[in-house]
Structure 1
């Protein structure tokens, strides 16, 4: 991704992310479907290519209005002639907030979509493509960001929404090893890669939080055995 994530100043703020979503929704052509597409990236940290293939059946809704998105990894397999063919891998389960679920359900209802239908289809029935959403992203970025921000890497690509979401997940948790692993799993990346790219989002412990006593005990050398001093013999 072109967006820089080793410096927090290059991450889109919540205000900027939602301003872009709102601007997109107001566009007379394909505005609602593009808003739903961008929301799946901004609120569930999907990769754009993962969002493009999302189908109605991949959205599981809970009783409280939240949900889960099933993201199917595409694994390469070989046919009998040794040619590569795409195969469905194990699904990654990504939590979906009530806000995202409501946006997706509205889009599904608006278009009367069926379980096997792709969610993000343009108003004229054509599939949503990278060239279309990238052009809309360029326009939305120009409309929302300040002049000095447009000359920076801030929000240079649609994936900036994903970066902002991952950063928020990291900052809003307890940042234990279990929490970092959970965020990495939801984002579909390894924990080492996650901590490398988003190191600036990880809270550094204060001196009072460091267990100095346990560290000292762990690093203490074992006591050497006490041997009797040898008796000196005169020649």
Structure 2
């Protein structure tokens, strides 16, 4: 903006033609003449008074418009809105992300974007805002379907109301964002892990904005805010002992006509080999060494995580992915006890394998959905557990079989390095996650302290 303090005023002039009368205010800024016409003398005098007061207060005048800086209309914000930048953020991360990561990114933005809007009339329902974001706006162009007619007004409103990205430099706006990720869509306090994941999404979005020079700095760095603490450790109350695990696996086989029997081997892999559900779903015959006697070996190389079709590369509910926290083509070898060898040999003999060698599938050859195997698991718990155990968190989820396996290995004295290798963890993460499940350490430590005291 080019400004000057060289301002002079002329008297108000009255101009009349055959039909109208007008009053003209004339003044100069940096010796350049400016003028403005009004229909009444009162309006002209008020305008002239405003100009004189600004000059008297020592205010600079814009040479282009002739107005004092305080009377200039605010410049429209430059740069994208949050909605526009969120779209580019999703696209930038899409190719290198797993389906569940894509879903997590969008889920976090579903909380943020509807909260960071201007007060534009006729705000749509939050459910409709989330629907248009989730199903259309926050997808790559080649995956977007045509927006339904009833959602077009919702999209138009959102495009008008979305705040400029640069507004996040205002601490009040940044705090609004943090407040939004701290509650559920129903307005209740969100779980600690959920808040932390959404905060990571916000952080990554802002870091990308800084990288692309849309923001000068990450606004979160200027806000004193701490996410709720998440334990990050396995609850020992969820861990079953070998007898309880055997009872559960036996109960699984009795569920349904064939579903429980088809899932028995998958659950057994999660307990005896500490496989994640998606790793068990991707297990193939060529990954299994199953001798008639002694220990066998599983070579885990692929996983089949489940996600909504809109997030997967294949357009199916189960993608083929590499192993979690490992390089794309890395594998993991897991020695398995003979009891699991027998279970897998029997499963293959009874149900065969899919065309690609997969062991575990429905009667129609599809991978089991998480809702299907979780339903079988809950029925098995009701058969194997007492009412008190059913009401407890003991083996509440199929994933708890994996926790039980790793806990058993650690308490059996298997070195942490070996347990970590079999479970697909780093040693640091292993000991952090399972610290509460390692038994017998307290007595050993007490004895060492007593020996030191008595010595």
Structures share fold, TM-score greater than 0.5: yes
Q: TM class, shorter-chain normalised?
A: 0.7 to 0.9
* Stretch deviating more after TM superposition (118-127 or 99-108): 118-127
Bigger relative CO (Cα 8 Å, ≥ 6 apart): 1
Per the alignment, residue 266 of structure 2 pairs with 37
**Shift, 1:116, TM fit:** 3.4
Q: Which residue of 2 aligns with 1:47?
A: 276
> Structure 1 pair 164/86, CA: closer, same or farther in 2 (3 Å)?
closer
Structure 2 counterpart of 1:186: 422
1:99 aligns with 2:351: no
2:292 is equivalent to residue 59 of structure 1: no
Q: Does 1:111 align with 2:351?
A: yes
2:352–2:359 contact (8 Å) kept in structure 1: no
CA deviation after TM superposition for structure 1 residue 202, in Å: 5.2
CA contact (8 A) 1:73 1:92 kept: no
Counterpart pick for 1:26 among 254, 259, 263: 254
Q: Deviations over 1:88-111 (max 9, x none)?
A: 521100111111011111111212
Cα displacement (A) at 1:184: 0.7
Q: Name structure 2 gaps, 5 residues minimum.
A: 1-192, 194-231, 304-312, 314-319, 323-327
2:367 aligned residue (120, 127, 131) = 127
Flag the 1:9–1:134 CA change in 2: closer, same or farther, 3 A: closer
Structure 1 vs Structure 2 CA RMSD: 2.9
Q: Structure 2 residue aligned with 1:199, among 427, 432, 435?
A: 435
1:57 and 1:115 in contact (8 A); partners too = no
Partners of 1:161 and 1:8 lie apart in 2 by 12
Cα distance between partner residues in 1 of 2:269 and 2:347: 12
Sort the Cα spacing of 1:124 and 1:183 in 2 relative to 1 into closer, same or farther, 3 A: same
Q: Does 1:164 align with 2:400?
A: no
2:377 pairs with 1:148 = no
> For the residues of structure 1 that align with 2:348 and 2:250, how far apart are their CA atoms?
19
Instruction: State the 4+ residue runs in structure 1 displaced beyond 6 angstroms.
Output: none
Count the aligned residue pairs.
Answer: 199
Aligned residue for 2:275, secondary structure, equals coil
Secondary structure at 2:343's aligned position in 1?
helix
Separation in structure 1 between the aligned mates of residue 392 and residue 361 of structure 2, nearest angstrom: 31
Cα offset for 1:149? 2.1
CA positional deviation for 1:206: 4.1
Are the counterparts in 1 of residues 285 and 359 from structure 2 also a CA contact under 8 Å?
yes
Tell me the distance in 2 between the aligned counterparts of 1:135 and 1:114: 23
Change beyond 3 A, Cα 1:39–1:6? closer
Q: Is the 8 A contact 2:273 2:334 kept in 1?
A: yes
Partner deviation per Cα, 1:18-43 (whole Å, 9 max, x = no partner): 11110111232222221111000011
Work out whether 1:11 is the aligned partner of 2:247: no
Q: Is the 8 A contact 2:233 2:432 kept in 1?
A: no
Paired with 2:382 and 2:390, the residues of 1 have a C-alpha distance of 7
Distance 2:253 2:244 in 1: 14
| 1:225 aligned residue | none
Displacement of 1:194 in angstroms is 1.1
- For 1:206 and 1:127, the matched residues in 2 are separated by 47
- Equivalent-residue separation in structure 1 for 2:357 and 2:386 (angstroms): 38
Offset, 1:119: 0.1
SS of structure 2 residue aligned to 1:133? helix
CA separation of 1:9 and 1:129: change in aligned 2, threshold 3 A: closer
